[in-house]
């Protein structure tokens, strides 16, 4: 999931090259307008798909799973879902489908 974030000059990378963000760090999630000009969060399944949107040297992105996307959508107004590989062979999952998947997963976990 592409994000826009201002990093402080004094931030240090962890041994695995990841970053630990401090409380109060502001992150803006990037959305794209597709399908009747509705906004979706783009998901890229690999670097090649990401570069179809934006080819940036040393690009970094957070790893986000569908449960995370559901939580982000629950906290966001005006976004209709997620678009997987939106600049290639894309697949759209709207809010209702994500909510159904989340409910199904919860039900399956409760039945174990």
> Global pTM?
0.72
3-state secondary structure of 50: helix
Taking alpha carbons only, the member of 46, 33, 43 closest to residue 72 is: 43
d(CA 44, CA 49): 6
List beta partners, residue 29. Answer: 3
- pLDDT tens track of the chain, all 112 residues? 555 556 666 677 778 777 777 777 777 778 888 878 899 989 898 889 988 988 887 777 777 788 888 888 888 888 899 999 999 899 999 888 888 887 877 778 787 7
Q: To which H or E segment does residue 42 belong? A: strand 38-43
d(CA 7, CA 49): 25
């Amino acid at each position: 999931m592409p994000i826009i974030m201002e990093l402080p000059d004094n931030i240090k990378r962890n041994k695995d090259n990841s970053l630990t963000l401090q409380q109060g760090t502001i992150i803006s999630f990037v959305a794209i307008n597709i399908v009747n000009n509705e906004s979706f969060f783009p998901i890229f399944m690999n670097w090649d798909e990401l570069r179809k949107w934006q080819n940036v040297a040393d690009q970094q992105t957070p790893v986000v799973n569908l449960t995370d996307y559901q939580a982000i959508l629950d906290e966001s107004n005006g976004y209709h879902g997620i678009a997987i590989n939106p600049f290639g062979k894309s697949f759209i999952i709207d809010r209702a489908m994500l909510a159904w998947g989340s409910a199904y997963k919860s039900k399956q976990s409760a039945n174990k």
